[in-house]
Amino acid sequence: MLPLHNPALLRQQALINGQWLDADDGQHLAVHKPANGELIARVPAMGQAETRRAITAAAAAQAQWKLQTGKARSVLLRRWYELIMANQQDLAVILTSEQGKPLSEARGEIAYAASFVDWFADEAKRGYGDVAPSPQADKRIVVLKQPVGVAAAITPWNFPAAMITRKAAPAFAAGCAMVLKPASQTPLTALALGWLAEQAGFPAGLFNVLTGSATLIGEVLTASPLVRKLSFTGSTEVGRQLMAQSAPTIKKLSLELGGNAPFIVFEDADLDAAVEGAMVSKFRNAGQTCVCANRIYVQRAVYERFAAKLVAAVQALQVGDGMAPGSTQGPLIDARAVAKVEEHIADALAKGGRLLCGGQRHALGGSFFEPTVIADASPAMLFAREETFGPLAPLFCFDDIDEVIRAANDSEFGLAGYFYSRDLARAWQVAEQLECGMVGINTGLISNEVGPFGGIKQSGLGREGSRYGMDEYLESKYLCFGGL
């Protein structure tokens, strides 16, 4: 059992139309702790019939929910926010147990997740339309904002709380209902959030949480004409597939996909600040973050000094069970994640990389891995093109600004980018030329509820959070009044 103050938060059934249900065939999925493989819970392995019932329930709930005023929706969202924060510790324990991140990071993620609910509780009251100056005297031009309808969401294991509320909160604020399929490795946080939404007074069917086969559930969600919106966070490969599956019904899409963030340190940077930024960007969630620094470029004059400072900071990280006091690096999500980090390290060393620290599985065993720094990185190495999604920091050396911008932009991804410099002209030049959706300037942490989160190129479509986040769940209807 998990050490919860409120054991009711540990849900082992799925939520459809306000009912907590087992799978029709009684099958289950097991949920294990990445830290030690221990069985935590079992959740239903739901399939296509259950998914169809969830969509029907969402459509019925949305028909009523869209009639609520923005202010009424705001009240319920605020209650949900307050319940999430009141249960922050229990939610963090559940999150750390199923995902692995240190408890301090999990508490931070719960607060981050709640911040989207708080933000969209306010935005719910601001679904402004337009009145445009008519080009003809006898006409009036009005634009209404209306909810898109039933929204489906498919979310990843790396942020089991924030990736859900970053979709659900704007959807509910806009007047939509949602059918959510969380990652099979981390379903418990999603189910707990569903239970808290119920406690907040959400109408039955407004928020449905399905656990089970991604393929089976995904097929029904993408094929159903009742589902007018799909929001996905995960790999570019799956995002591409879901985009294709959604094409026959022309769904509105939000895709938050893979990244390959460059992190650039110019010779005029505050090196201590740059090391601090690199640590938070690279090693948050043990590097299992789509916006983490995947390639670190350091200007030649400061390369060795920066490398030495970074290694000292990396060696101070405490690898351990996320529930153990003082742990600052948890396990990776699974053996596949470990294999990818090992593949990138072996490839780099075989191509001339210089290991500065780490480099192998941690003595704790399982999916624990030593935080690693490799110097003398080159474009020929796998991590120059692929997202490592693990605690590996490759250091590339560069000489001039044009060279590093070309290198940074040499990727099919364009989610986030970072750089450290105290030169204002250079800051504007680099910020404007980096090909990505988000840029951190003298900071390695850009994620919050106010900034529009999203990428370009093959990192996705749309923006989440911010004043733009609700637009993903709204349609603009143009009214043309004539004969006036």
Ligand X SMILES: O=C(O)[C@H](O)CS(=O)(=O)O
Ligand Y SMILES: NC(=O)C1=CN([C@@H]2O[C@H](COP(=O)(O)OP(=O)(O)OC[C@H]3O[C@@H](n4cnc5c(N)ncnc54)[C@H](OP(=O)(O)O)[C@@H]3O)[C@@H](O)[C@H]2O)C=CC1
Exposed (0-12), middle (13-18) or buried (19+): which is 350, by Cβ within 10 Å? exposed
User: Which one from 50, 98, 198, 256 is the annotated catalytic residue?
Assistant: 256
Residue in 289, 327, 388, 466 binding ligand X, rule: CB under 6 A = 289
Instruction: Specify the residue, 48 or 104, whose C-beta has the smaller distance to ligand X.
Output: 104
Among 238, 243, 265, 474, binds ligand Y (CB under 6 A): 238
Largest Cα separation within the chain, whole Å, is 79
Per-residue interface string for the shown chain with ligand Y, residues 370-399, x marking contact by CB under 6 A = -----------------x-x----------
DSSP 22-73: --TT--EEEEE-TTT--EEEEEE-B-HHHHHHHHHHHHHHHHHHTTS-HHHH
CA distance 385 to 287: 16
Residue 219 annotated to the active site? no
Beta strands in 257-391 (DSSP E): 261-265, 293-299, 354-357, 372-375
Length of the chain: 484
**Of 290, 307, 323, 341, which lies in the binding site for ligand Y, with binding defined by CB under 6 A?**
290
Q: Residue written as tokens 């007074």? A: 201
Q: Which stretch binds ligand X (CB under 6 A): 182-190, 284-292, 336-344, 389-397?
A: 284-292
Q: How near is the Cβ of 445 to ligand X at its closest, in Å?
A: 8
16: part of which helix (H) or strand (E)? strand 14-16
SS3 annotation, 167-193 = HHHHHHHHCCEEEEECCCCCHHHHHHH
Q: How far is the CB of 292 from ligand X (least distance, A)?
A: 7
Nearest to 259 by CA among 63, 29, 465, 437: 437
Pairing label, strands 150-154, 177-181? parallel
CB of 94 vs ligand X, minimal distance in Å: 18
**Residue 157 binding partner per list ligand X, ligand Y, none, with a CB distance cut-off of 5 to 8 Å that depends on partner kind:** ligand Y
Stretch that binds ligand Y, among 16-24, 124-132, 252-260, 443-451 (CB under 6 A): 252-260
Our finding on whether 447 is near ligand X (CB under 6 A) is yes
Q: Judged by CB under 6 A, which stretch of 11-19, 186-194, 263-271, 286-294 contacts ligand X?
A: 286-294
Residues 156-185 that bind ligand X (CB under 6 A): 158-159, 162-163
Assess 74 for contact with ligand X (CB under 6 A): no
CA dihedral in degrees (155, 113, 28, 216; nearest 10)? -20
Residue 302: Cβ within 10 Å count = 18
Closer by beta carbon to ligand Y, 368 or else 420: 368
Span from 113-121, 138-146, 223-231, 233-241 in contact with ligand Y (CB under 6 A): 233-241
Place of tokens 């030329």: 433
Cα–Cα–Cα angle for 463, 466, 469, rounded to 5 degrees: 45
The closest of 206, 97, 111 to 165, measured between CA atoms, is: 111
Restricting to residues 129-158, which ones interact with ligand Y according to CB under 6 A?
154-158
Residues between 182 and 221 with contacts to ligand Y, criterion CB under 6 A: 183-185, 214-215, 218
Site for ligand X in 132-161 (CB under 6 A): 158-159
User: Residue 447: which of ligand X, ligand Y, none does it interact with, CB under 5 to 8 A by kind?
Assistant: ligand X
Q: Please, which residues have CB within 8 angstroms of residue 332's CB and are 6 or more apart in sequence? A: 34, 100, 286, 288, 338, 341, 367, 368, 369, 390, 391
- CA dihedral sign, ordered 87, 90, 93, 97: negative
Told to check if 261 binds ligand X by CB under 6 A, we report no
Among ligand X, ligand Y, none, the one that 413 touches (CB under a kind-dependent 5 to 8 A) is none
Residue closer to ligand Y by CB (options 31, 307) is: 31
Q: How far is the CB of 388 from ligand Y (least distance, A)?
A: 8
Kindly give, in sequence order, each residue whose CB lies less than 8 Å from that of residue 356, ignoring residues fewer than 6 positions away.
307, 311, 373, 374, 375, 395
For binding to ligand X (CB under 6 A), which residues are involved? 158-159, 162-163, 233, 289-291, 447, 453
Report the catalytic residues.
256
For binding to ligand Y (CB under 6 A), which residues are involved? 154-158, 181, 183-185, 214-215, 218, 233-235, 238, 241-242, 256-258, 290, 387, 389
